[in-house]
């Protein structure tokens, strides 16, 4: 079992720590850093609740080792808006469209949509829907999220 020093930028702040090799990025964020926005759902890459951005790309943080984030830029739902009383435009759309029920899967959905919203060329509504197939909502509250996609792609027209 090897121990490793890991250092990376999380939501604009430098953080570091010692990790066991087997520590996933998800567990490191939640248990060691106290950043509990990425949710631990299935912990084997199926549900998408733990989705974070690494170097701007939406990835499942349960399928990445913490040590692999060394030197990278990581973003979680905590970093989306300017402060606790502000909402990112996509979070605002979630609120307006009632795009969450219990909210457990929401951070994952948000991170994927933020990554899509930033990417060039900008994906169309069908591509966004396809990308959301990587997220499960056990409340089955998908319709609201699909309305968010409609609004997002409407704004771009």
Q: Measure the N-to-C terminal CA separation of the chain; round to a whole number of Å.
A: 53
Q: CB under 8 A: which stretch of 9-17, 19-27, 96-104, 139-147 binds another protein?
A: 19-27
Closest separation in Å from C-beta 63 to another protein: 4
Question: Which of 11, 32, 33, 45 forms a contact with another protein (CB under 8 A)?
Answer: 45
Question: H or E stretch including 71?
Answer: none
The string over 105-137, giving b where at least 16 C-beta atoms fall within 10 Å of a residue's C-beta and e elsewhere, is bbbbbbbbbbbbbeeeeebeeeebbebbebbbb
Q: Interface with another protein includes 114 (CB under 8 A)?
A: no
Which burial class, exposed, middle or buried, applies to 140 when counting CB atoms under 10 A from its CB (0-12, 13-18, 19+)?
A: exposed
> Residue 121 corresponds to which tokens in the numbers above?
């060329």
Q: Which stretch, 29-37, 53-61, 80-88, 149-157, contacts another protein (CB under 8 A)? A: 53-61
Does residue number 60 form part of the binding site for another protein (CB under 8 A)?
Answer: yes
- 118 touching another protein, by CB under 8 A: no
Name the site residues for another protein (rule: CB under 8 A).
1-2, 4, 20-22, 24, 27, 43-45, 48, 51, 57-60, 62-65, 67-68, 112, 116, 130-131, 133-134
């Amino acid at each position: 079992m090897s121990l490793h020093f890991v250092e990376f930028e999380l939501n604009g702040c430098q953080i570091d720590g010692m990790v066991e090799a087997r520590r996933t990025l998800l567990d490191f964020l939640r248990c060691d850093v106290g950043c509990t926005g990425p949710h631990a759902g299935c912990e084997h890459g199926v549900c998408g609740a733990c989705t974070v951005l690494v170097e701007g790309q939406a990835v499942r943080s349960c399928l990445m080792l913490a040590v692999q984030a060394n030197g990278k830029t990581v973003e979680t739902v905590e970093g989306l808006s300017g402060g606790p009383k502000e909402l990112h435009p996509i979070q605002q759309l979630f609120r307006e469209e009632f795009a969450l029920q219990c909210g457990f899967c929401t951070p994952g959905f948000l991170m994927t949509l933020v990554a899509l919203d930033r990417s060039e060329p900008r994906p169309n509504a069908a591509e966004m829907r396809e990308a959301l197939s990587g997220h499960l909502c056990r409340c089955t509250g998908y319709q609201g999220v699909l309305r968010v996609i409609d609004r997002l792609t409407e704004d771009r027209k």
